[in-house]
Amino acid sequence: MEGCTVTCSAKSPKSCSIVPPYLLARIAENPDRLAAAADAARRTLLEQRAVEENRKERRTAPAPGPGTALTPKLRRTVFDAGQKQELPGVPVRTEGAPPTSDPAVDEAYDGLGATYALFSDAYGRSSVDGAGRPLHATVHYGRDYDNAFWDGNQMVLGDGDGEVFQRFSKSLTVIGHELTHGVIQYTARLVYQDQAGALNESISDVFGALVEQKLLGQSVSEASWLIGEGLFTAEVNGRGLRSMSAPGTAYDDDVLGKDPQPADMSDYVQTSADNGGVHLNSGIPNRAFYLAASRLGGYAWERAGQIWYDTITEPNFPADCTFSVFAAATVTSAEKRYGASGAESSAVQAAWKEVNVMV
């Protein structure tokens, strides 16, 4: 497990995985219905706990300041773990190399490029660190591994169990989500606990969705606003892992249960599980972003995405940020860039009010 050190922020390293532990636990409890999936879910949960127990804290360098020479060049490497849990694995495709015969490799390679393109084209950011850091991804991690995660250095993608989950490289929102954890690591550095952790998850969902929307050229009204769309097999009654437009509606399945995400603060979940409900309560700021983007219209990565990006890159941003502090910060960011009387500020305030974070 030496190669599996996992962190999500310099202050409180945690395993930043796309599939919540409560969903894996639900699958693991149903061996009579889906034996292979239950076994895979149990092994995935155990592996994640081992990662937590054996992790070493990573200290990230500060984001480059004024005058820092950037290297605005995309540099990708995709590795194959060969179904082992050792990172990074064998390099199988590097920058500029032609496609392979392995769809997981090529999906990961393309996803790295699409994520780099969003941050570079829309926000002028070179890679996750803002200084052109090479982007690495490992595919075929573990045997039937039911997750994807950011480990503080790179993205890791499992193949899924084939009964509930397909390979995680199939979803561009998953790839964009995990790489955004890397961006947060070098910007807001949000701790992975309670509301700050839910914001960490939500911001990763936001930019994961925007990666896909920008690549497809989708407007706010054209986008699905689903995270992990296409991950479930045909056996599952679900559209994706999470819905940003309507939290709590992504799936409703006899094995998985009903999507438990709340859509506003009136249903906020108080729990000690999942680092204080980081995958649950992220639905609240997710919906706030969707509502703000919908009010502004057009392409969400432009004004709404710019406001969220400005917020997380603000110097001295509090790593233990709460929903209310983040909401106020997004309003301030909107006013700084677009003016206090602009439609942008009004849209952001109205969105946070609708989810009962602002009064």
* Residues identified as active-site: 178, 279
Q: Residues 209, 179: one domain?
A: no
* Final residue belonging to a domain, choices 137, 158, 186: 186
Distance CA 43, CA 27 (A): 11
State the pLDDT at residue 30: 81
206 and 157 together in one domain: no
Would residue 359 count as lying in a domain?
no
Residues 16 and 145 in one domain: yes
- Is 170 inside a domain boundary? yes
Range of the domain at 48: 2-186
pTM (whole model) above 0.95: no
Q: Same domain for 177 and 203?
A: no
Split into its structural domains, the chain has a count of 2
Specify the 3-state DSSP secondary structure of 143: coil
**Do 241 and 128 belong together in one domain?**
no
Give the tens place of pLDDT for each residue, 286-309: 999 999 999 999 999 999 999 999
CATH of the domain at 82: 3.10.170.10
The tokens describing 213, both together, are 């929307």
Please provide residue 155's backbone torsions phi and psi, each rounded to the nearest 5 degrees: -95, 145
Q: Dihedral, CA atoms, 316, 319, 320, 322, nearest 10 degrees?
A: 70
Residue 234 sits in the same domain as residue 328: yes
Same domain, residue pair 310 and 213? yes
pLDDT the model gives residue 34: 82
Low-confidence ranges of the chain (pLDDT < 50): 1-14, 53-69
Q: Are residues 18 and 155 in the same domain?
A: yes
- Strand (E) positions, 65-216? 76-80, 90-94, 135-139, 148-150, 155-157
Specify if 320 maps to a domain.
Answer: yes
Question: For residue 174, which of 151, 157, 197, 152 has the smallest C-alpha distance?
Answer: 157
Structure confidence at residue 16 (pLDDT): 83
Angle between helices 283-296 and 323-338 (to 10 degrees): 20
d(CA 260, CA 253): 12
> What's the gap between Cα 354 and its chain centre?
23
| 221 CB-contact burial (10 Å; exposed 0-12 / middle 13-18 / buried 19+) | exposed
> Are 76 and 102 in a shared domain?
yes
Decide: 151 and 31 in contact? Cβ < 8 Å.
no
CATH number of domain containing 341:
1.10.390.10
Positive/negative CA dihedral, 197, 200, 205, 208: negative
Q: Are residues 349 and 267 in the same domain?
A: yes
CA 47 to chain CA centroid, Å, is 20
pLDDT tens profile 103-114:
999 999 999 999
